[in-house]
């Protein structure tokens, strides 16, 4: 039973990490109906820049705000130079623009900071929590718990901001109907700038959490692929759905890998989330918390 709880907690913490990555997709999709294919590249660019600033001599607490400012600027520049000129274009056009952005972020990051794999020390030991190990005989990594808490807090805070504040109400109005939102005086461009800047900060936090676990390397771009099943299960337009979808994916892949993997040769963790995503696409394509889209033909 103790081992079961270890696997369950590990899955929940991994799910929160997936939710954090998926949150960047949701924010931009809610504001502009654009699937930001570049979000994974933004994660890589953000954390590589953070480590690069520390290599230049900045300490952790100085490199962090500098990188936050950088990612806010990246979000603003991206919105103004790439997305704003394409307002009113088809969704396919906007998607292709974000695909191009992904390659730009990847190239600029490696051009500026190099291609070597870096370690990232957040000052949190990757070893079991003594209290749980001694009293409950459950092994949970301090690093995993800290990363899960950071991811969970950030998702909850942003969920409250976008559901309770004036900016959040404006975002929901823009997501429902751009033209109607503009007609009642909601500043569409300012809303989009805020969303893209926030997505940049989310990318930094997600990159730091994943980079501390697996190293700062190009493979972080692929983390965004794990966010796809989370979005499909939770719904592309729901911040709470991101949390639920992430927890479902995290727990399902860990449980399947541990309890079913030995009977089929392992490797379930890599593909089970996509099987779940296909199932939801067949049964409930809008996700658990997504809105049904009705189109007139």
Question: 55-98, pLDDT tens digit by residue?
Answer: 999 999 999 999 999 999 998 888 888 877 876 777 788 888 88
Q: Is 216:119 a contact under the CB 8 Å cutoff?
A: yes
What pLDDT does 56 receive? 92
Q: What pLDDT is recorded for position 175?
A: 63
Three-state DSSP state, 255? helix
Cα dihedral across residues 240, 244, 247, 249: positive or negative: negative
**Cα–Cα distance, 168 to 243 (Å, whole number):** 18
Least confident of 15-24, 160-169, 236-245, 259-268: 160-169
Asked if residue 51 has pLDDT above 90, the reply is yes
Q: Is the pLDDT of residue 29 over 90?
A: no
Sketch the domain layout of the chain as residue ranges.
2-9+22-219
Q: Name the token pair of 151.
A: 């991811």
Residue 9 pLDDT more than 80?
yes
| Burial 150-169, CB ≥16 within 10 A → b, else e | bbbebbeebbeebeeeeebe
Residue 178 pLDDT grade (very low, low, confident, very high; cuts 50, 70, 90): low
Q: Which among 255, 253, 249, 252 is positioned nearest to 270, based on CA atoms?
A: 253
Higher pLDDT, 116 or 294: 116
What is the pLDDT at residue 185?
Answer: 67
User: Quick one: average pLDDT of 186-198?
Assistant: 77
User: How far apart are alpha carbons 48 and 117 in whole angstroms?
Assistant: 9
pLDDT exceeds 60 at position 297: no
| 87 three-class SS | coil
Structure confidence by residue, pLDDT tens digits, 231-287? 999 988 788 888 899 999 999 999 999 898 888 877 888 889 999 999 999 998 888
Q: How confident is the model at residue 293 (pLDDT cuts 50, 70, 90)?
A: low
pLDDT: is 33 or 142 the higher one? 142
Read off the pLDDT of each residue in 116-143 and give the average, rounded to a whole number. 78
Q: Write down the pLDDT at residue 49.
A: 94
Whether 168 shows a pLDDT value over 80: the answer reads no
Is-contact 242 230, C-beta < 8 A? yes
Mean pLDDT of 163-188: 68
Q: Which of 283, 30, 55, 281 is nearest to 158 (CA)?
A: 30
- Tell me what the pLDDT averaged over the chain comes to: 83
> What pLDDT, on a 0 to 100 scale, did the predictor assign at position 164?
79
Residue ranges of alpha helices (H) inside the chain are 2-32, 39-55, 60-78, 91-113, 130-135, 142-164, 166-176, 178-183, 188-214, 223-234, 239-259, 261-264, 268-283
DSSP category for residue 216: B
pTM: 0.85
pLDDT at 296 over 70: no
Indicate if the alpha-carbon torsion angle 255, 276, 152, 226 is positive or negative: positive
Asked if 107 contacts 45 with a C-beta cutoff of 8 angstroms, the reply is: no
User: Does residue 1 surpass a pLDDT of 80?
Assistant: no
Q: What angle do CA 92, 20, 144 make, to 5 degrees?
A: 145
Query: Does 295 score more than 60 pLDDT?
Result: no
Rounded mean pLDDT, 114-119: 85
Distance of CA 134 to the CA centre of its chain: 34
- As a whole number of angstroms, the distance between CA 43 and CA 39 comes to 6
In the prediction, which pLDDT does 166 show? 76
Q: What tokens does 34 get?
A: 């654009």
Residue 180 pLDDT more than 70?
no
Arithmetic mean of pLDDT, 200-208: 89
Residue 50: pLDDT over 90 = yes
């Amino acid at each position: 039973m103790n081992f079961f709880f270890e696997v369950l907690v590990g899955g929940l913490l991994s799910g929160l990490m997936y939710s954090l990555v998926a949150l960047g997709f949701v924010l931009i999709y809610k504001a502009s109906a654009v699937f930001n294919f570049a979000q994974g590249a933004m994660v890589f660019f953000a954390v590589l820049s953070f480590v690069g600033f520390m290599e230049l001599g900045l300490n952790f607490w100085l490199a962090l705000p500098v990188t936050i400012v950088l990612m806010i600027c990246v979000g603003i520049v991206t919105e103004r130079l790439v997305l704003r000129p394409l307002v009113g274009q088809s969704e396919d056009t906007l998607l292709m623009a974000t695909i191009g952005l992904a390659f730009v972020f990847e190239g600029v990051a490696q051009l500026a900071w190099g291609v070597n794999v870096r370690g990232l020390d957040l000052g949190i030991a990757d070893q079991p929590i003594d209290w749980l190990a001694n009293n409950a005989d459950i092994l949970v990594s301090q690093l995993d718990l800290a990363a899960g808490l950071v991811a969970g807090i950030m998702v909850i805070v942003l969920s409250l901001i976008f559901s309770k504040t004036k900016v959040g109400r404006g975002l929901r109005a823009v997501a429902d109907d751009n033209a109607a939102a503009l007609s009642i005086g909601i500043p569409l461009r300012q809303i989009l700038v805020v969303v893209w800047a926030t997505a940049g900060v989310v990318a930094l936090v997600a990159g730091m959490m994943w980079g501390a676990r697996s190293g700062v390397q190009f493979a972080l771009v692929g983390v965004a692929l794990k966010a796809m099943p989370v979005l499909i299960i939770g719904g592309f337009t729901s911040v709470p759905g991101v949390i639920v979808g992430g927890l479902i994916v995290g727990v399902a892949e860990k449980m399947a890998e541990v309890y079913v993997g030995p009977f089929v040769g392992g490797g379930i963790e890599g593909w089970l989330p996509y099987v779940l995503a296909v199932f939801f696409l067949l049964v409930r394509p809008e996700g658990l918390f997504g809105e049904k889209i009705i189109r007139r033909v």
